[in-house]
Amino acid sequence: MVLMSIWVGYTEPEPDIWLKSIVNELKYLKTQDIKVKNTNYNLKVYGITGDCPALKKILNFIGHGGYDCCWFCYVHGEHKNGKRQYLYQRSIRLRNTQAYLHASNEAHRTQLRVNGHLGKSILQNLLDVQLPDSIVIDYLHVTLLGHVKTIGAAIYHELKPFQRSTFDSQLKRQRFPHFFNRKVRPFTEFSNIKSTELRNLLFYCLLPNLEAILPLEKLAHLALYVCSIRLLHEQVLLGDETGIIADQLFSKFYEDHEQHYNGLQNYVLHLHVHYSKMYKNHGALANIGCFGQEDLIGNVSSNHHGTRYHGELITFTT
Ligand SMILES: [Zn+2]
């Protein structure tokens, strides 16, 4: 992994200022042949990924609490009980490449908000796959640290005290095969939970440990979500139908969401609607999460100790 630029500061960066020189350098590199052992290679820029605040910045979009904030479709949020909600819709109208480009150019020209666009993205002329197809949702932030954490906390808070202690002690005693890097934490330590622990919790622990605790309807509803993400996480388990079946399971989960959770239909839940297309275009969730990038950022920040020579420091640590 090559680290090309890093922003260290207390305020959010302005991508046009921060990334201008590195984007121009990449555009230049794309015009050159890169020769390795008598073979010429060309640089292609495939896509962009990150958490929602980072993506909205680099895509020059409104934030994830806005009314038209989805990068892929025209879902219009609703203000309900003091929260922005993106309620289930039977059909969604997708943004196509021409409409996406037109709206961003219009926003740039008029300096006004157009369907969620605030202007052009600095990546517009750099990416080889057109926007919005080149946007890769990061399931680490959207699913694990996003919706799994939210519904996990909601379920836990609805349990009676003795059910909570039973559930926590079951999680503490949970054993995994030796090649699992992390165990799961009890919910009493939920604020410090890591994304890999949430993944193990979602795939292996939630359903069996909640079987005797949750009402059957709620457990079945949760199973729709677990099975949907499990299918999308791996290579094709059910042939060409894998993404479609996962989407059908998730759609049912989304449709009945309000029956089991109160006011949790937020933007990260809505983004799951676009997972099946992403699975078809970019592959399984296991291959596209930001685990590696997060590790690298963690490594850089833990080695940061007040120097002004960040370039040398980063080169050394990576
Ligand atoms: Zn959408």
ipTM of the modeled complex: 0.99
Counting DSSP H helices and E strands in the chain, the numbers are 17, 6
- Examine the domain organization and report whether 66 and 154 are in the same domain: no
pLDDT band at 108 (very low <50, low <70, confident <90, very high): very high
Determine if residue 5 is left, alpha or beta; phi over 0 gives left, psi from -120 to 50 gives alpha, anything else beta: beta
35-85 per-position pLDDT tens digit: 888 899 999 999 999 999 999 999 999 988 888 999 999 999 888 888 889
Query: What is the CA(73)–ligand 1 centre distance, in A?
Result: 4
What is the domain range of residue 181? 139-288
Residue in the structure block whose two tokens are 């020059």: 60
- Examine the domain organization and report whether 33 and 106 are in the same domain: yes
Query: What is the CA(245)–ligand 1 centre distance, in A?
Result: 19
The mean pLDDT value of the chain amounts to 89
Q: Are strands 48-50 and 135-137 parallel, antiparallel or unpaired?
A: parallel
pLDDT band at 313 (very low <50, low <70, confident <90, very high): low
- Examine the domain organization and report whether 58 and 88 are in the same domain: yes
181-220 per-position pLDDT tens digit: 777 888 888 888 888 889 999 999 999 999 999 999 999 9
- Examine the domain organization and report whether 154 and 274 are in the same domain: yes
Residue 143 and residue 271: Cα distance in Å, rounded? Answer: 9
Query: What is the CA(68)–ligand 1 centre distance, in A?
Result: 9
Q: Examine the pLDDT at 318 and tell me if it is beyond 60.
A: no
What is the predicted pLDDT for the residue at 1? 79
Is 226 inside any structural domain?
A: yes
- Examine the domain organization and report whether 152 and 117 are in the same domain: no
Residue 32 and residue 42: Cα distance in Å, rounded? Answer: 7
Rounded to the nearest 10 degrees, what angle do helices 310-317 and 291-302 cross at? 120
Query: What is the CA(172)–ligand 1 centre distance, in A?
Result: 38
Rounded to the nearest 10 degrees, what angle do helices 216-233 and 242-255 cross at? 150
* Exposure on the CB side of residue 263, measured as CA atoms within 13 A: 6
Query: What is the CA(215)–ligand 1 centre distance, in A?
Result: 31
Range from 86-100, 101-115, 167-181, 263-277 carrying the lowest mean pLDDT: 167-181
pLDDT band at 130 (very low <50, low <70, confident <90, very high): very high
- Examine the domain organization and report whether 144 and 270 are in the same domain: yes
Is 7 inside any structural domain?
A: no
Is 185 inside any structural domain?
A: yes
Query: What is the CA(16)–ligand 1 centre distance, in A?
Result: 25
- Examine the domain organization and report whether 171 and 129 are in the same domain: no
Cβ(311)–Cβ(8) under 8 Å? no
Question: How many domains, the chain?
Answer: 2
- Examine the domain organization and report whether 164 and 87 are in the same domain: no
Query: What is the CA(33)–ligand 1 centre distance, in A?
Result: 38
Residue in the structure block whose two tokens are 């009945």: 256
Q: Decide: residue 138, CB within 10 A, 0-12 exposed, 13-18 middle, 19+ buried.
A: buried
220-244 per-position pLDDT tens digit: 999 999 999 999 998 777 878 899 9
- Examine the domain organization and report whether 194 and 271 are in the same domain: yes
- Examine the domain organization and report whether 115 and 143 are in the same domain: no
